[in-house]
Amino acid sequence: MLILPGQSVTNMFYDVFNPDPNQFGCGDNYQNSGFLTKKEEDQHITKEVIKSVRRTGQLNLSSRHIATVPEKLFSIYDAEDESTVDWDFGKPKKEEDSWWNIKPLSHLDLSSNVLTDIPGKIGMFQDLLVLNLHCNNLTELPKEIGSLQKLTKLTLNSNKLTHLPDDFFKLVELRQLTLGGNCLESISKDISDLVMLEKLDLSNNSILNLPPGMGFLIRLTELNVAHNKLTELPPDIVNLRSLLKLDINHNSIQYLPVMGELRKLQILHAQHNDIAEIPSFLGCEKLQEIYFGNNFIKDIPLEFCENMYDLKVLELRDNQIELIPPEITTMVHLTRLDLTNNDIKELPSTIGLMPHLQVLKLEGNKLKQMRADIVKAGTNRILRFLREKISEDDLKTIENVPSDVNHDKSVYPDKYTMRQGNIMNISMKNIDSIPEECFNEAKEAKVYCVDLCKNKFTIVPEGLKILANDLTELNLSENQIKELPDFLKDFAQLKFLDLSRNMLTGLPDSFTALTSMRELVLSNNRLTSIPKCISGMVGLEILLLNENCIASIDIDVLQELKRLATLDLTNNSISSVPPQLGNMTQLR
């Protein structure tokens, strides 16, 4: 995305068609209903329909039993074809066909038919925003589909596609792509060019591997690859920092990478795989639901328990778990815990004190302490039984467990609080300094994210030096900082740096060493030029320089940033834009 001075951006989302992605093979359901002749298919586009399309820009031909796209569709805007236009509506011909009254086709629904192919002439509708082709018998797509450059939503689930044409990946404005329920065995690495994607559904195919480069889809909020033949996830899957929901269920995945970079992840479906270990989720503080049912998990790591403070649903049914650690009670917001069909022989009695637990499923275990009738009686009976068994020693073990009442009371968070999400959050405290002891505890807590925004810092605290090898995110926005220290160059792992709303006039030249940087926010400062050191940040994907005093665009700096996808230069003093900027095709 490129935003230049004088531009405004309005995100428009179209959700006119909302097919059920779980309905597969819909086209086959119509095969016995009888095919229509081409003449009969053309009759679906009546004079009234043509008039409506011209007026609204939308055409719905779903569930019409058509086997080919009506030829009449492609002459629907042909004003000279008198046979396709009925002007007898009480208005003069000129007024009826005035160009200012005609809207180009923006929404086309051909779903739930028996189409076997789409003509290449589909490429003529270059104003299409939404194209719905789900539930047909399509085996391939025409290369001309790549001409639909404005397409934001494409629905292709429940067809028989075996591959996608190379030109398909020119649809760079796509926000939502649904390909579930096809016959795809692989996905081209060029999918990484669809950088505007927010929702991607590849479920119910036969995909063996996801291509490298998936991590470039940084705007992706939902990724569904369930019901495929995956044995692993690509390493860069953890770069999808906007991801809210990930569904990988019903595959053959044996191992999951460290998931901590997926900091916005809220829901993970990983049922029916071959996973033997729960991965590290340090940093996934937004996680609310995790589904690990039907795997080969034997242990619940203590680290996992201690860092899932906000988790509400944990499903571990049909695994091989023998022991439930007492630390599971640190998940104080847990409402549902499913441990059905494991090898558990004993439960911590303190589970009975978990304040929000509403569903506890224990069927199919070998519990020695609890009779079968108690298990069958349901959650309330189980929790009451566990509470009755709590001893004084049990109570001592939970005295330090955080609760809604005592969580994060102080200005400076303690080691236990920081360990919950490996985050040091001291924002909005109206402070201008931090005790050295606090940074030492942050080091012990393995903090990788520091948030000091909305305070009164005039200099960057030197105590940060101790975290130089660990920090990946640093937020210093809305302070009064005029100059940055040279020691920040040593933060080699830093990927996100927010310096907005300060008083900066430049950046140290040594910042060229920050090669891991992916997002740099310098909005609302006093910069008069684009800092040259930015050229060394070769991994940079997002650069925000709006609301400064920049007079010219240093194209030499920007051309070094081969991965830059978002550049914001609005509200500066720029008088002209260098034409070379147009060659940076990765900018969206």
504-553 pLDDT per residue, tens: 999 999 999 999 999 999 999 999 999 999 999 999 999 999 999 999 99
> Is 176 in a helix, a strand, or coil?
strand
pLDDT band at 100 (very low <50, low <70, confident <90, very high): low
Q: Is residue 69 part of a domain?
A: yes
Residue 504 lies in a domain: yes
Q: What are phi and psi of 519, to 5 degrees?
A: -140, 125
Residue 352 and residue 426 share a domain: no
Domain boundary among 148, 177, 212: 148
CB burial of residue 454 (10 Å; 0-12, 13-18, 19+): middle
Which range among 32-41, 164-173, 244-253 shows the weakest confidence by mean pLDDT?
32-41
Q: What is the CATH number of the domain that holds 449?
A: 3.80.10.10
Tokens linked to 421: 């999400």
Considering the domain architecture, whether residues 424 and 565 belong to the same structural domain is answered as: yes
| CA proximity to 232, closest of 263, 213, 255, 204 | 255
Q: Which helix (H) or strand (E) holds 338?
A: strand 336-338
pLDDT digits (tens, 9 = 90+) for 112-162: 999 999 999 999 999 999 999 999 999 999 999 999 999 999 999 999 999
State whether 469 and 324 are in the same domain: no
384 and 475 both lie in a single domain: no
Beta pairing partners, 268: 246, 290
Q: Please report which confidence band the pLDDT of residue 39 belongs to, taking 50, 70 and 90 as the band edges.
A: low
- In 3D space, the residue among 298, 308, 302 whose CA is nearest the CA of residue 268 turns out to be 308
Is 133 found in the same domain as 27? yes
CA distance 343 to 333: 25
Structural domain that includes position 483: 415-583
For residues 473, 478, 479 and 481, what is the CA-based torsion angle, rounded to 10 degrees? 70
| Residue 237: half-sphere exposure toward Cβ, Cα within 13 Å | 21
Q: Are residues 389 and 497 in the same domain?
A: no
Q: How confident is the model at residue 439 (pLDDT cuts 50, 70, 90)?
A: very high
Written as six digits, the tokens of 584 are 């940076």
| Token pair recorded at residue 373 | 């009738």
6 assigned to some structural domain: no
Sign of CA pseudo-dihedral 35, 41, 43, 48 = positive
Same structural domain, 439 and 320: no
Number of alpha carbons in the 13 Å side-chain half-sphere of residue 199: 12
pLDDT tens digits along 556-575: 999 999 999 989 999 999 99
Amino acid in position 228: N
Report the number of distinct structural domains present in the chain: 3
- Residues 455, 381 within the same domain: no
Classify 114 as helix, strand or coil: coil
Q: Are residues 433 and 532 in the same domain?
A: yes
Residues in the chain: 588
Please tell me the distance from the alpha carbon of residue 122 to that of residue 521, in angstroms, as a whole number. Answer: 41
Domain shared by 389 and 443, yes or no: no
For residue 102, being part of any structural domain is answered with yes
**pTM value?**
0.67
Q: Give the end of a domain, one of 129, 148, 167.
A: 148
Question: Per-residue pLDDT averaged across 214-242, rounded?
Answer: 94
Does a structural domain hold residue 588? no
In the beta sheet, which residues pair with residue 567? 2, 543
